Amino acid sequence: MKFEDYYISQELKKNLAKLGFVKPTDIQFKSIPPILKGEDVLAIAQTGTGKTAAFAIPVIDMIHRGKMKQRNDGIKCLVMVPTRELAQQITEVFEKLSRHTKVKAYGIYGGVGQDEQIDRLEDGFDILISTPGRMFDLISQGHLLVDRIEILILDEADHMLDLGFIKDIQDIKRKLNRKHQTLFFSATINDVIKKLAYSLVENPIRIQVSPKDPVSKNIEHSVVFIEMDDKRFFLERMIKENSASKIMIFVRTKVRAERVKMAMERVGIETITIHGDKDQQDRFGVMKRFKNGEVKVLIATDVSSRGIDIPNVDFVVNYDLPDVSENYVHRVGRTGRGMAKGLAISFCSKEEKPILDEIQGFLGSNIAVLEMSKTEYKDILEVMKESDNDTDWQSLIRDNEDFEAKRKKAGAKKKK
């Protein structure tokens, strides 16, 4: 079945065609009909399978076709997400899919001034995409009214529940129209989160795509055993051997991200970082530069592993294994999105082997190991260390030449 065969508005069909949507993915095929019927939906599917469009398409259609009240009666749909980057990304998806329709969407999040957001709330729109913090601030200030909302969407919902937003979500549901539709979308779910999820939905249609393997079949993922102090040399080698590729590197902490960046820059590799210490405009700027290919290597903490859709990421590198097993799925899911193929590799040190065991337990299968003999390991390490020493020596020579040039120039000025 193709999108042109769906009973949705012509304007929406035209937008889908222009954006290259021809046939629905599995999660879209299974989710769109029950959402259009007004059912509550609990949907679990791998990253990169088109979950955002799975709820955006039917919601836009229902509002455009007048199945809900007019905009001047208040916001009709609320999409709650855990991160600012995800809020911005989902807003862009809604804007692209709703062009030439009656539907208007807007995203609000913290880290930026709220005055402009308040002005837009007063102008009115149909769909609000928001992080919990800023949304609750605006509700408490009386700028945001939610009592007319007819659809509540929780995207990456397991992460929001994990972060302790269950009470806030329950409070929001109490403020909504007594009869409203709830859509719960996520890539991963555990028994605790599942119990909480069922407390938020009413007789839901449960949709689970590829439940046995949470990692997309488009992603070839593996692990290689590298000692902690040697990781930077192997990372340098991998990046230099794939210099034309877009590479996303995940580390455990903000400090680690900056240290890896400095280590790569010392050997002539340009990188950018994204983590919680950067202000929101910097984070948006970094994502823009990486998305458009201006910089090929992005070093990130888990702030960027959730739901972010970055086109054409060739490699994901887990420089550090994630402390939370579910985050492995979200990290590697930054590559191999849609119909594209992707590669992911994890560097595992001796100290991280218990974490690897936990991740494999969560996946329900072992991750393929890239075998490397002790001799091969030693040879690679020696070559990269020698290369680094050469680079450092060349840098010193260049610095000395620059110093001598400046000194001579200053001496010439004095003679004049």
User: If you average pLDDT over residues 206-216, what whole number do you get?
Assistant: 76
Report pLDDT digits (tens) over 265-297.
999 999 999 987 787 778 888 888 998 889 999
pLDDT surpassing 70 at residue 389: no
More confident site: 413 or 67: 67
- Give the pair of three-digit tokens for residue 57: 């398409």
Torsion over CA: 42, 47, 49, 52 (sign): positive
Report pLDDT digits (tens) over 15-52.
999 998 999 999 999 999 999 999 999 988 877 788 89
Band (390; pLDDT cuts 50, 70, 90): low
Q: CA 239, CA 241: separation in Å to the nearest integer?
A: 5
In the sheet with 297-300, reading across from the earlier edge strand, the strands are: 272-274, 297-300, 247-250, 315-318, 342-348, 219-225, 368-369
44 and 205 Cβ atoms separated by less than 8 Å: no
Q: CA 9, CA 160: separation in Å to the nearest integer?
A: 33
Report pLDDT digits (tens) over 315-344.
999 999 998 888 898 899 889 887 788 999
- Exposure string of 342-352, with b = 16+ CB inside 10 Å and e = fewer, is bbbbbbbbeeb
Report the percentage of the chain scoring pLDDT > 70.
Answer: 89
Sketch out the chain's domains with CATH numbers.
3-208 (3.40.50.300), 219-371 (3.40.50.300)
Rg over alpha carbons for the chain, rounded to the nearest Å, is 24
Q: What is the pLDDT of residue 235?
A: 95
Q: CA 303, CA 248: separation in Å to the nearest integer?
A: 13
